[in-house]
Amino acid sequence: MTKVFTDGLSFALPLLIMAVGAIYSEKSGVTNLAVEGFQGFGAFIGALAAVLLMPHLDKSSQIPIYVAMLFAAVGGGVYACIHALLCINFKANQVISGVVVNILAVALTTFFTSAANTALAGTASNKFILGVSNRYSIPLLSKIPWIGGLFQKMYPFEWIIIGLVVFFWYLMYRTRYGMRLRACGENPQALDAAGGKVVRTRWIAVIISGALSGIGGICFAYSIMANYSPSIYMGYGYLAIAAMIFGNWSIPATVLVCLVFGIAKAGGQQLCIAMQLPGNYTDLFNMLPYILTMLLLIFFSKRNHPPQASGQPWDASRR
C-alpha cells in the first residue's frame, strides 16, 4: 500500500507541473494541445545538456539532474515560441497549431537524438542513457501508517515541483500579472480597454507553459524511464490536459486530480503484482488512468467552465 502512494506521487507531480503549464496557456486564452510536444522537446534539451555534462563529473553525481531540469525548462520555453507565434501573431487555428507542434517535436527530437549520439559516441542510438535520480525519505513523516508512503523515497524533483506549483498558484491568483492573465483568457477586450497588453500577456503565459511542461518531461525521463528516448511521447502530455479539464482549469483542483491519476496508475501496477499476473498484463493495468479519464469526462465535462476566450485569436482591430 505504501508503494502505491510512493509511486503514485512520483507520477502525479510531473503530470501536475505539465497541467499547471497548460492552465497558464489556456487561462490566457491560448488553447494548448501542445503539452506533449513541449514536454518532449524540453526533456530532449535537458537530456542533451545532461549527457554533455556527465562525462566531466563523478559517476554518482546528482548535479546533471538539476542542470537537466534547468535546460528542460529553457528548451520547453523556447520551443513553445512556435506555438505562441502561430496562435498569437499569425492567428492560426490553435488546435491545429497544437497538433502540428506535437508532431514536429517527435520528428525533431528523434532525428537530433540519433545525430547527437552519432557525434558523441559514434552509435546512432535513439536513446540518451540518464539513469535514475536518487531518492530520499523524510524522517518521521514517512513513518506515518498508510499515507507515510507519500513521504518515502521521494525524488528531489518532487520537492522542486511542489515549490513551483505553489509559486505559480500565487502568481496566477494573487499578483497583477495573474489578474491580467485570467482576464485575458475570459475577455481580452476588457483587458485591452483597461490598458493591459493582450499579446504580451499571452506570450509570457505560453512560454511559462512550455517551460513547466519541459520540467515535467525531464522528470519522467529521470524516474520511470531512466533514459531519454522517443518513448517519452507516451501521451502523458494529453493526460495532463485531461487533468486540467477535470480540475476545471483551477490549480488546487488539478492537484487533486493528478494525485488520483497517479494513485490509480500505481495502484494498477501493484494490483497486477498482487494478483501474480504475468508481466504483459501490466500494460492492461497501465490503462487505468486513461479509463478513469474517459469515465470522468462523461461526468464532469458538463459543468466545467473553460476560459471563455480560449481558442480565439485576439485581433486588436476588432474592438
Partner 1 sequence: MEEYIVEMRHITKRFPGIIANDDVSIGIRKGEVFALLGENGAGKSTLMSMLFGMYTPDLGEIYVKGEKVEFRSSNDATARNIGMVHQHFKLVDNYTIAENIVLGVEPMTRRLGIFPSVDMKRANREIAQLSKEYGLEVNPTELIQDVQVSVRQRVEILKMLYRKAEIMIFDEPTAVLTPSEIDFLLRIIDGLRKAGKTIILITHKIEEIKQIADRCAILCRGRLVDILDVQTASVQEMANMMVGREVSLTRVKSEPHFGKNVLEVQNLTVLNEHRFPVVKNVSFSIRSGEIFAIAGVSGNGQTQIADAVAGLEVASEGAILLNGKQITHDSIRSRAQAGISYIPEDRQSTGLVLDFALSDNLALRQYPKKPYSDHGILNFGRIRENAVTLIDRYDIRSGQGPKTIVRSMSGGNMQKVIVAREIEEHSDLIIFVQPTRGMDIGAIENIHRYILDERDRGAAILLISLELGEVMDLADTIGVIFSGEMLKIAPAREMTRYEVGRYMMGVKEA
Name residue 254's amino acid.
T
Whether 43 and 221 have beta carbons less than 8 Å apart is answered as yes
The reply to whether 200 sits near partner 1 by the rule CB under 8 A is no
The reply to whether 319 sits near partner 1 by the rule CB under 8 A is yes
The reply to whether 59 sits near partner 1 by the rule CB under 8 A is no
Q: Which stretch binds partner 1 (CB under 8 A): 24-32, 169-177, 230-238, 278-286?
A: 169-177
* DSSP assignment letter at 228: E
The SS3 assignment for 309 reads: coil
List 4, 130, 154, 191, residue binding partner 1 (CB under 8 A)? 191
Q: Which stretch binds partner 1 (CB under 8 A): 65-73, 150-158, 168-176, 262-270?
A: 168-176
Q: Which stretch binds partner 1 (CB under 8 A): 27-35, 98-106, 178-186, 269-277?
A: 178-186
Least spacing, CB of residue 179 vs partner 1, in Å: 6
The reply to whether 179 sits near partner 1 by the rule CB under 8 A is yes
Find, among 193, 184, 182, 206, the residue nearest to 318 by Cα.
193
List 194, 275, 294, 298, residue binding partner 1 (CB under 8 A)? 194
Residue carrying the nine cell digits 507565434: 85
The reply to whether 122 sits near partner 1 by the rule CB under 8 A is no
The reply to whether 205 sits near partner 1 by the rule CB under 8 A is no
Tell me how far apart the alpha carbons of residues 74 and 46 are, in angstroms, rounded to a whole number: 8
User: CB neighbours of 41 closer than 8 A, spacing ≥ 6?
Assistant: 75, 76, 79, 105, 108, 109, 214, 217
The reply to whether 187 sits near partner 1 by the rule CB under 8 A is yes
Nearer to partner 1, 186 or 225 (CB): 186
Least spacing, CB of residue 297 vs partner 1, in Å: 20
List 27, 180, 202, 265, residue binding partner 1 (CB under 8 A)? 180
Dihedrals phi, psi of 229, to nearest 5 degrees: -150, 170
Nearer to partner 1, 48 or 164 (CB): 164
HSE-up of residue 175 (Cα within 13 Å, Cβ side) = 9
Whether 260 and 247 have beta carbons less than 8 Å apart is answered as no
List 21, 196, 247, 262, residue binding partner 1 (CB under 8 A)? 196
The reply to whether 176 sits near partner 1 by the rule CB under 8 A is yes
**How many other C-beta atoms can be found within 10 angstroms of the C-beta atom of residue 125?**
16
Residue carrying the nine cell digits 539532474: 65
Tell me how far apart the alpha carbons of residues 36 and 59 are, in angstroms, rounded to a whole number: 31
The reply to whether 301 sits near partner 1 by the rule CB under 8 A is no
Whether 130 and 227 have beta carbons less than 8 Å apart is answered as yes
Find, among 30, 44, 31, the residue nearest to 73 by Cα.
44
Count of residues binding partner 1 (CB under 8 A)? 21
List 143, 170, 235, 291, residue binding partner 1 (CB under 8 A)? 170
Nearer to partner 1, 62 or 175 (CB): 175
Strands (E), 154-262: 227-228
Q: Taking CB under 8 A as the criterion, which residues in 255-294 touch partner 1?
A: none
Name the site residues for partner 1 (rule: CB under 8 A).
170, 174-176, 179-180, 182-183, 186-187, 189-196, 305, 308, 319
